[in-house]
Structure 1
Amino acid sequence: MADALTLLPATQSGSVAGSSPGRGAREGPRRALVVGASGLLGENLCRRIAATPGWHLTTLSRRPPTIGGGGHVALDLRARDDCLAHARAFADVTHVFFCARELSRGYGISVDANGEMLVNLLDALAEGAPSLAHVQLMHGLKWYGTHVGPVGLPARESDPAHADSSFYRRQQEELMRRSVRAGWSWSTIRPHFLCAFATGSPSNLVLMLGTYASVLRELGEDLWFPGSEAAFDAVTGCVDIDLVTSAMLWAASSRNCADNAFNIGNGDFFRWRDLWPKIAAAFGMRPGPVRPTDLPRFMADKGPAWDRIVACRGLRPLPFAGMADWHFAHNNVFGLGWDVVPSLVKAHRFGFHEVVDTEEMFARLFARYRAERILP
C-alpha cells in the first residue's frame, strides 16, 4: 500500500450510542449524491431521500433516474478525465452514497473496474466537494466469502475480508485511506438478496422468483426447485429494500456510526424448503421436487412462453430478457449449498432496530407486481 495505515476491523472504530460525535458529523441541511441513481438500489434510495426532511438530492448515473432532485450528473465513472471535469458539480455535496457497480455478461464482476470507478469519483470529490462529510459504500456478504463456500456463523463485521471478497476489500481500503487524510467519515452496508418492486435489475430476487414460477405454470409444471438438496436445506435470508435505504440514511447521518460497517437484514432467516410451498401457493401451484438444473440454459428458450403469458393475462409487454439474470439466480441464489447467516447484533447495538417479516414481504411485493400488471 502507498500509505502507512493499519486497517482495523470495522468494529474497532466508531462507538456505541450516546458517545461523543463521530468524524464527519454534520448539522443542518444535507446534500446527498447518489451514485448509480438509475439502478435498483439507487432509485429506491433517491425516493427515500426526496421524501426525507433536511435532505437534498443530486443524482449521478449514465442514464437519468426516475427520481429527480437538485440536479443530475450524467457521467461514466470509468472515464477518469470526465469525472475530474465534473468536479465542480459536487460543490454542495455533504454525503455520498456509492451504489454503482460494473457488471459484465453472466453477472461477472470486475474487481479492477469497480475499484477504478470509486477512485475516479473520490479524486473528483477531493477537488470539488469541500463540504464532504461522509462517504458510504453498498457492499454485501461477499465480504465474508459466502459466495465461495461455508463461512463462520454468524458472519460478523469484525471478520476479515475473504481472499475472494469481490471488489469490496479494495474499495473499503481505498475509502479508509482517503478518509484519514481528508477528515470525512465512511460507512459500508452489507445486505443479502435485495427484494424490491423494480424492473430491469439483474439481482432482483422477487421478480426473478415470480418470473420463474409464472413460466413453469405456463408449461404446466409444478414449482420445482432448480438448485441442489443442500441449497434447498441451507439457512439464508434476504432484505426489503425499504429497510436497506432506511439503514443507509441512518448509518450515514448518525454520529456514532462513523467509520463502521454494518450487516443489514430483515431480522429473520429461512430455508428454501420451508418457504418454497408458500411461493408456490402465491402462484396457484404445487411445490415440486428438487431438480438441479442449469438455469441459464433452461430459461434460454422460454421467451415465447413468457410472451404467451403477457398476451393472455394482459401484462405490460416487458421483454423476457430483462425480467431476471438467470446466471445470478443459478450461481448466487440456488447455488449456495451452505448456510448464510450474518449477525445483525452490531446494527441493533448502534441504534438501528427496524425489522421486516420475510414471508409478509414476499406476499406484499408479489401483490404489487400483479397490481402493476408485471406478473400474472
Structure 2
Amino acid sequence: MSSLSARVACIWGANGISGTAMIDLLIEQSSNEWNHIICISRRPFQLDIKDNRIDFISIDILNATADEIVNELEKVNGQTITDVFHYTYIEKKDEDELDKANKILLEKALDTCVKIAGKTIQTFSLQTGYKYYGVHKSKDDLAKLPFIEDAPRHKGSNFYFTQEDLLKDYAEKYGWKYIITRPATIIGVAKGNFMNFAVTIALYATIQKELSQPLLFPGNEKSWNRISDHSTASNNARFQLWTVLNKNIHNEIFNIANGDLVRFRDLWPKIENYFNIPHHEQILNENEVQIKLAEYMPKNKDGWIRIAQRENLDEKAFDYATWAFADGSLKSSNDRYGDLSKARQFDWTTQVDTFDGYVQCFDRLKQLKVIPS
C-alpha cells in the first residue's frame, strides 16, 4: 500500500534529453516518495525501462486539444498529479514562429493540468535556458556576464520570456509553487533525439576515425578560446527535483550549470583521446570557421553507412544528428556563463566535471548502439 504522502510526477517531453534524465532519476527514488510517474511525449516511449510506476501517453501535444490530453490522463489516474516537470520544445527557424509554437506547447500543458489536477498540483517546474539571456542573438542583445536570473530582458521577442510569464500567471491563479530553471548547453542522451551538441560531436568523431582524418574543430579561433559553461542533464534533473522538494524554495528562477568553466581548446584534446584519434594541431582563423559540419557530414554519409552496417548500429542516427545546430553552437565567439550564486544561497553545493558529462554521454551512446563500442 502506497503512503498517502507519496507524490505523482507528470513529465511533459518525456522522450527528450531532459525528460529522460528526470525519468532515470525518479525511478531511483523509493515508491514511498514517488509512487506514480506519468510520461507524455509525441513519440512512443523510447526508454527500455521496466518500472510499474510508469504510465506513458503518446500524443501530439501541439495538435491535440487540452480535452483530448485530459481524456488520456484520466485513463492513468491523472487527477492525482502533484508535481509537473515541463521539457517540451519545438525548433523553428523564425523567431515569431518559435515563440508561437512553444507558447502553445506550454499553454496546452498548463490548461490540461488545471482541468485534470488543478487542486492537487503542488509544483510546476519549467526548464528554459540561456537563450533567455540572448545567447542566440547578436552581441547587443547578450546579457552582461555572468548571467544573473534577474538580468534585464533584451528587446524584441523571446519564447522563454513568453513561457516564463505564462507559468507565473497560472501559478498565481491556481496557487501552485513554480520553479524555473535555466541550464546552459545541455549534455545528455535521449534515444532518437539528437538535438544535442555532444551526440553530434560523437557521430562526427566516429566518422573521422573511420576515414583516418583529424578531428578538425568546427569553429573559429574565438570560439576555440571562449569561456562557457555546460549543464549535464543528470545534474539538471537532480537540481530540479531538489528544488521541488525543498520547503524553503517557492516561486524561484535559477541558473543551473555544472559549476566549472571550460574552453573548447581544453575539451577538444580530451575528445580526441576518448575516440583514439591522433592529436591534431588546430589551424584556426579568428573569424572564419575551420569546417562546417552541415556541409561536410552529408558528403561522408557513405562512411557512416559502412560503419553502421559493420558494427550493427542505428543507421538512422546520422539523419537525427543536428549538424547545423552544432555549427550554430560554435558560431558565436562570445563568452557565455551563468552565475550560480542564487542556487548556492539555498545550499546547492554540487559541482560536476563537464568532460565527465561528455564521457557519460559517449558511453551511453555505445550502450544504445549509436556509435561503435
- Where do 5+ consecutive residues of structure 1 fail to align? 1-26
Task: Kindly provide the amino acid, as one letter, of the partner of residue 206 in structure 2.
Answer: S
Whether 1:116 and 2:116 are equivalent positions in the alignment is no
Match of 1:328 in 2: 325
Q: 1:60 to 1:322 in 2, by over 3 A?
A: same
SS at match of 2:150: coil
Asked if structure 2 preserves the Cα contact closer than 8 Å seen for 1:58 and 1:70, the reply is yes
Whether 1:347 and 2:343 are equivalent positions in the alignment is yes
241, 253, 258: which one aligns with 2:250: 258
Whether 1:361 and 2:349 are equivalent positions in the alignment is no
Whether 1:31 and 2:28 are equivalent positions in the alignment is no
Match of 2:179 in 1: 187
2: CA distance between counterparts of 1:321 and 1:191? Answer: 26
| TM superposition score normalised by structure 2 | 0.86
1: CA distance between counterparts of 2:360 and 2:94? Answer: 29
Asked if structure 1 preserves the Cα contact closer than 8 Å seen for 2:194 and 2:321, the reply is yes
Whether 1:277 and 2:279 are equivalent positions in the alignment is no
Q: 1:262 to 1:247 in 2, by over 3 A?
A: same
Match of 2:66 in 1: 83
Whether 1:45 and 2:22 are equivalent positions in the alignment is yes
2, 15, 40: which one aligns with 1:60: 40
Match of 2:195 in 1: 203
2: CA distance between counterparts of 1:364 and 1:133? Answer: 33
Asked if structure 2 preserves the Cα contact closer than 8 Å seen for 1:315 and 1:375, the reply is no
2: CA distance between counterparts of 1:107 and 1:224? Answer: 31
Whether 1:145 and 2:128 are equivalent positions in the alignment is no
Deviations 1:263-303 (A, max 9, x none): 11111011111221121122222233335333212212221
Which of structures 1 and 2 has the larger relative contact order (alpha carbons within 8 angstroms, sep 6+)?
A: 1
2: CA distance between counterparts of 1:109 and 1:354? Answer: 37
Root-mean-square deviation over aligned CA pairs: 2.4
1: CA distance between counterparts of 2:355 and 2:95? Answer: 27
Asked if structure 1 preserves the Cα contact closer than 8 Å seen for 2:96 and 2:157, the reply is no
Q: CA deviation at 1:113?
A: 0.9
Asked if structure 1 preserves the Cα contact closer than 8 Å seen for 2:309 and 2:315, the reply is no
Q: Give the count of matched residue pairs.
A: 347
Task: Kindly provide the amino acid, as one letter, of the partner of residue 209 in structure 1.
Answer: I
Match of 2:283 in 1: 289
Match of 1:228 in 2: 220
Asked if structure 1 preserves the Cα contact closer than 8 Å seen for 2:228 and 2:335, the reply is yes
Q: CA deviation at 1:109?
A: 6.7
1: CA distance between counterparts of 2:283 and 2:157? Answer: 33
Asked if structure 1 preserves the Cα contact closer than 8 Å seen for 2:184 and 2:229, the reply is yes
Task: Kindly provide the amino acid, as one letter, of the partner of residue 298 in structure 2.
Answer: A
- Where do 5+ consecutive residues of structure 2 fail to align? none
Give the share of equivalent positions with the same residue, in percent: 27
Whether 1:100 and 2:96 are equivalent positions in the alignment is no
SS at match of 1:51: coil
Asked if structure 1 preserves the Cα contact closer than 8 Å seen for 2:38 and 2:56, the reply is yes
Q: CA deviation at 1:96?
A: 0.7
Task: Kindly provide the amino acid, as one letter, of the partner of residue 128 in structure 2.
Answer: H
| TM superposition score normalised by structure 1 | 0.85
Q: 1:252 to 1:135 in 2, by over 3 A?
A: same
Asked if structure 1 preserves the Cα contact closer than 8 Å seen for 2:222 and 2:333, the reply is yes
2: CA distance between counterparts of 1:357 and 1:124? Answer: 38
1: CA distance between counterparts of 2:234 and 2:220? Answer: 31
Match of 2:313 in 1: 316
